[in-house]
A and B are shown apart, each in its own frame.
Chain A
Amino acid sequence: MAAVISTAGLARTFQTKAGPVDAVRGIDLTVREGEILGFLGPNGAGKTTTLRMLTTLLKPTGGAATVAGHDLAADPAGVRRASGYVAQSGGVDPQITVREELVTQGRLYRLPKTEAVARAGELARELDLTDLLDRRTGALSGGQRRRLDIAMALTHRPKVLFLDEPTTGLDPGSRADLWDLVRRLRDEHGTTVVLTTHYLDEADALADRLVIVDRGTVAAEGAPGALKLTYGGSIDASLQDTFLAVTGRGPAPADSAPVAV
């Protein structure tokens, strides 16, 4: 299948008072159309910085990338039209109703008023928010909030959806619902989904392919099973051990390791 995202040497250096910090040192990445890609790595590995570059929020200081056929540097507007992004913090005003946020989002994507209203209703039905439309977003539960964040990012039917730690802080039921939602998006709309997570069970269950970043570069990539075989020693190895082997942080004591890293 065709590549919908490809990056070569994508890098970002931040200038700080203590000198330059290389948050991302050079990421080479290919994501195929319709793929669910799990982006793993320790805190500070450069996951969020990479996502923010791919969504045009942050200018790369090196390398190049294309998203859905649009060059990141030359055509950021094209990249914005083709992709949706849900930040870790979400992005809705707690004082505003679900309906107003959804309609405003449609208008930000330049839909005429009536179409924006219709699209808001459609998204609400698709993400099970219809009964919540007149509620202030601040009054939603964690799982409802996440569904709204994702609905906002789907307003313009993007080819690529970037989710930054979408299930952090959700209860197990809401997490399972969110996994179903991500799979449905791919199956029904062919949406490519790139998501970061610290939950290895989530990566294992949801992602077709994993990319493990460490210290700003890709340390390993492949299907979960293949990674386990290569780095964990056997197809039956836990993703936990595989992860620790790749990032050089292990081996962890057998029973004390948390599921989330």
Chain B
Amino acid sequence: MLLHDTALIYGRYLRQSLRSRFALLFGVLTPLLYLLFFGPLLTGLPLGGQGSSWQVLVPGLLLQLGLFGALFAGFTVILEKGQGVVERMRVTPVSRLALLLGRVLRDATVFVFQAVLLVLAALVMGLRAPLAGVLIGFAFVALLTLSLASLSYALGMKVRTPQEFGPLINMVSMPSMLLSGLMLPMTLAPAWLDVLSHFVPFRYLVDAVRDAYVGEYTSAHMLYGVLAAVGFTALSVTAGTRVFRTTGA
């Protein structure tokens, strides 16, 4: 039943995404601008580590795409509450968990698709990376999206208005991006900043994807990255499920 309901909800929201092709492409615009106008600045800089500057920047942009995109996913549920769609579904026998899973799996699909577009553009700009590493990068984008979208939907169910939602998300997204070293590796940072960044889970994800992009699949970074991503996803989906089970929104 869970599988049936999840597939049903997933299909409904995927069709919704496909109906607005513009929105589907729009999400990739910000990281694309970074790629075009920020990426070239890094090509001659000593960033530490192995590989080219593209192998450092693109993993960061992939996670930035997931971070900003998925954190705002819950916005739609506020609109749907206003339309009464959420309550209408909640009076049917549909699995509450499926209402969450169908949505976050749709988001993972959309953001991995955008990630593929971004990597294709990066290849044109000069990125060279092993295929396995690139695929691992997509897997991290998927996990990050699942976890952040779950939290975002949970918040969307809790707040009443979009005006409460936006500022809260901004308060999380900007520091997360800066403190996890998405743009430039934190190894360049002074000690205090480097230490601080270890408290942000996304730091471990970006380090792991950077290792994957230079073919280091068995490093300590990779281990910590996988643990952080899987652990954070488990926690977030559990938290999201609790809210979807109990909220009478």
In the assembled complex, A198 has its CB within 8 A of some CB on chain B:
no
Question: In this assembly, does A55 line the interface, its C-beta being within 8 Å of a C-beta of chain B?
Answer: yes
Contact between B91 and A57 (Cβ–Cβ < 8 Å)?
Answer: yes
Q: Are A89 and B248 in contact (CB-based, < 8 A)?
A: no
Select the stretch in B81-89, B111-119, B129-137, B198-206 that faces chain A.
Answer: B81-89
1/0 per position for B52-96, CB-CB distance to A under 8 A? 000000000000000000000000000010111101111111100
Inter-chain contact B88/A107, CB cutoff 8 Å: no
Say if the beta carbon of A128 comes within 8 Å of chain B: no
* Nearest opposing residue in chain A for B12, CB measure: A104
Assess whether B214 is interfacial by the CB under 8 Å rule.
no
Cβ-based interface call for B242 (8 A)? no
Inter-chain contacts of B90 with A (CB < 8 A): 56-57
Q: How does the 8 Å CB contact mask read for A51-93 relative to B, with 1 for contact and 0 for none?
A: 0100111110000000000000000010011011101111111
A108 at the interface (CB under 8 A from B): yes
Task: Tell me what chain A mostly uses at the interface: helix, strand, loop, or mixed.
Answer: loop
Q: Decide yes or no: A108 and B89 within 8 Å by CB, A57-B248, A59-B248 being known contacts.
A: yes
Report A-chain residues with C-beta under 8 Å of the C-beta of B15. Answer: 100
From B8, B16, B91, B248, A95 is in contact (CB under 8 Å) with: B16
Q: Is the interface of B mostly helix, strand, loop or mixed?
A: helix
Partner of A108, one of B16, B87, B92: B92
A110 at the interface (CB under 8 A from B): yes
Q: B94 to chain A: which residues have CB within 8 Å?
A: 108
Contacts of B171 in A (CB 8 A): none
Q: In the complex, what distance in Å separates the CA atom of A95 from the CA atom of B17? A: 11
Convert A93-105 into 0s and 1s, putting 1 for each residue whose CB lies closer than 8 angstroms to a CB of B.
1111000100011
For the side of the interface on B, what is the size category?
20 to 34
With A104-B12, A107-B8, A108-B94 as given contacts, are A57 and B87 in contact (CB-CB < 8 Å)? yes
Do B84 and A89 have beta carbons less than 8 Å apart? yes
Instruction: Write out the residue numbers on chain A whose beta carbons fall within 8 Å of the beta carbon of B21.
Output: none
Interface residue B160 (Cβ < 8 Å from any Cβ of A): no
| A110 engages B83 (CB within 8 Å) | no
The answer to whether A87 touches B12, judged by C-beta atoms less than 8 angstroms apart, is: no
Collect the chain B residues with CB atoms within 8 Å of residue A95's CB.
16, 19
- In the bound complex, residues from chain A placing their C-beta under 8 Å from that of B16 are 93, 95-96
A124 interface hit (Cβ, 8 Å)? no
**Which residues of the partner chain A approach B93 to less than 8 Å between Cβ atoms?**
77, 80-81, 108-110
Determine the residue in chain B with the shortest Cβ distance to A58: B248
Q: Which residue of chain A lies nearest to B98 when distances are taken between CB atoms in the complex?
A: A108
Q: Which of A77, A87, A91, A156 has the most CB of B within 10 A?
A: A91
A92-B89 in contact given A57-B248, A108-B8 (Cβ < 8 Å) = no
Interface residues of B (CB under 8 A from A): 1, 4-5, 8, 12, 15-16, 19, 80, 82-85, 87-94, 248
Given contacts A85-B87, A90-B88, A108-B93, 6 further A-B contacts (CB under 8 A): A56-B90, A57-B90, A80-B91, A90-B83, A104-B8, A152-B88
* 14 residue pairs A–B, Cβ–Cβ below 8 Å: A59-B248, A80-B91, A80-B92, A80-B93, A85-B87, A85-B91, A90-B84, A91-B87, A92-B83, A92-B84, A92-B88, A96-B16, A107-B8, A108-B93
